[in-house]
Amino acid sequence: MVSARQAAYLQALGVDVYVPRSSPPWQTEVAAEVDAPAVPAVAAPARVPAPKPARAPSSIVRREPIALPDIAANLDWDELRAAVVACQRCELHATRTQTVFGVGNPQARWMFIGEAPGAEEDKQGEPFVGRAGQLLTSMIRALGLRREDVFIANVLKCRPPDNRDPKPSEAVSCRGFLERQVALVNPTLIIAVGRIAAQNLLATETPITKLRGKVHSFGAQAWPVVVTYHPAYLLRSPGEKRKSWQDLLHARQLFGRLEQESASGGRA
């Protein structure tokens, strides 16, 4: 059921491919779809930013957008990048080597959002580098995409000292930048990478085990979000890689459905 290309990437992920007899319903559905044609090319022609969606799949778990100071609304990419570089909205500006804005295709259909830069990211100025970054790249490839086709960002643009978790106040301070990034990219689907990213994006304290396998929404335009484990966690807990593969299958199936709805006018 899995193509040779996907099998190669799954091997890189350390995942043995099989479909358990008691697969959850969504897993069975997507497993049956693995042989389907590859997802549409991500490096798509320029897209005009979409207006507010007319509707979203009924399965999306909606939360009211958080009212935030309008720190970045209406900024273009260059202005936004400059605003982040100059930002001193929280204490993290004092200890960063540099800000870590995000990388990738500014018109990507897939967006991956992690929690915050680590030591290596702080040094290089790019999110998801090092071993965890390599594993994220393998996960992206498992979806049939290239790293440069997607957009990768973090909830925080500056590194928390000693790799501590972001403080809620820091995430709130930085959220306007992330919301503007998402609005400029206007992705079809967001993957929240890891518990911290998911809980901050979705403004919830629900454990990641209960956030996985569902469709959530982020921001004023209710961009669809699915949740998976952070690659750093997968490196520490390789037994969980199978679950991350299930998450990717879920994401791929949802992406196809959202693109189909968009093409038929269901989602602007």
3-class SS of residue 262:
helix
Question: Of the two residues 89 and 147, which places its CB atom closer to ligand SF4 in the complex?
Answer: 89
Q: How many other CB atoms are there within 10 angstroms of residue 64's CB atom?
A: 6
Q: Integer distance in angstroms from the first to the last C-alpha of the chain?
A: 33
Closest approach, Cβ 161 to ligand SF4, in A, equals: 12
Give the interface with ligand SF4 as residue ranges (CB under 6 A): 84, 87-90, 92-93, 99, 156-158, 170, 173-174
Question: Of the two residues 89 and 195, which places its CB atom closer to ligand SF4 in the complex?
Answer: 89
Question: Of the two residues 157 and 230, which places its CB atom closer to ligand SF4 in the complex?
Answer: 157
Alpha-carbon distance of 201 to 224, in angstroms, equals 11
Closest approach, Cβ 92 to ligand SF4, in A, equals: 4
Question: Of the two residues 140 and 185, which places its CB atom closer to ligand SF4 in the complex?
Answer: 185
Alpha-carbon distance of 20 to 17, in angstroms, equals 10
**Dihedral over alpha carbons 112, 90, 180, 134 (to 10 degrees):** -20
Closest approach, Cβ 85 to ligand SF4, in A, equals: 8
Closest approach, Cβ 164 to ligand SF4, in A, equals: 13
Question: Of the two residues 90 and 225, which places its CB atom closer to ligand SF4 in the complex?
Answer: 90
Q: Which residues contact 103 (CB under 8 A, 6 or more apart)?
A: 126, 127, 151, 152
Q: How many other CB atoms are there within 10 angstroms of residue 208's CB atom?
A: 18
Q: Where are the alpha helices (DSSP H) in 88-230?
A: 119-124, 130-142, 168-185, 195-202, 208-211
Closest approach, Cβ 193 to ligand SF4, in A, equals: 17
